[in-house]
Chains A and B, each alone.
Chain A
Amino acid sequence: DAKTTQPNSMESNEEEPVHLPCNHSTISGTDYIHWYRQLPSQGPEYVIHGLTSNVNNRMASLAIAEDRKSSTLILHRATLRDAAVYYCIPLRGSSGSARQLTFGSGTQLTVLP
């Protein structure tokens, strides 16, 4: 599995954008980059995933470097409810694959009012 490096913690002010970085220099060509987040005392929640192109959904945007060795999760306007641990996880994307999500230590995001 590809190794990932994320900052242990980050802080953001409410209603400001947040850029959460992730390095995955050993990612393989078929690995999608998945982002999940875990709010306190809850199970993880899917945020977004992508392969090469930048991706947007209602929760966030994902910017993927051209060499795919890093990516950045962008929360456009942080709210207090976005305070969570954010996990960046490379995952093989072939259909029918039995590969599972392997969680690292993630980034603890604190949102300040």
Chain B
Amino acid sequence: GAVVSQHPSWVICKSGTSVKIECRSLDFQATTMFWYRQFPKQSLMLMATSNEGSKATYEQGVEKDKFLINHASLTLSTLTVTSAHPEDSSFYICSARAASGRAQNIQYFGAGTRLSVL
């Protein structure tokens, strides 16, 4: 199946610093990428949807100035958690959907990034 690479897999940072997470589709072009967040023992919650070359659409309650999303190419999206605080500690997971082809409606997921803010 298609591969989505997410980096880093885990990060520890101090409160007030910013953290960037990268998501790459390695063997397909992704028109649309998604960012999810998952707290312990909970399900995935969609944070935002981004289409290549346009601004991301954020879900209700997600601060767009705090969670900056850039989808500059068909294979790369980044999520920057600005001025991170302990409550931002979570498991962040990206997902990509192919631009064309029979797998168009399948979302492929990265392995996730575990963020711990001290």
Binding site for B on A (CB under 8 A): 32, 34, 36, 38, 41-46, 49, 87, 91, 93, 95, 97-98, 100-106
Majority-rule SS of B interface residues: strand
Rounded to whole Å, the gap between the CB of A32 and the closest CB of chain B is: 7
Are B110 and A43 in touch, CB under 8 angstroms?
yes
Query: B49 near A: Cβ within 8 Å?
Result: yes
Residues of A within 8 A of B67 (CB): none
Majority-rule SS of A interface residues: loop
Closest to A39 in B: B111
Are B110 and A100 in touch, CB under 8 angstroms?
no
Are A44 and B44 in touch, CB under 8 angstroms?
yes
Are A93 and B105 in touch, CB under 8 angstroms?
yes
Residues of B within 8 A of A32 (CB): 105
Are B109 and A45 in touch, CB under 8 angstroms?
yes
From A41, A46, A104, give the contact of B112 (CB < 8 A): A41
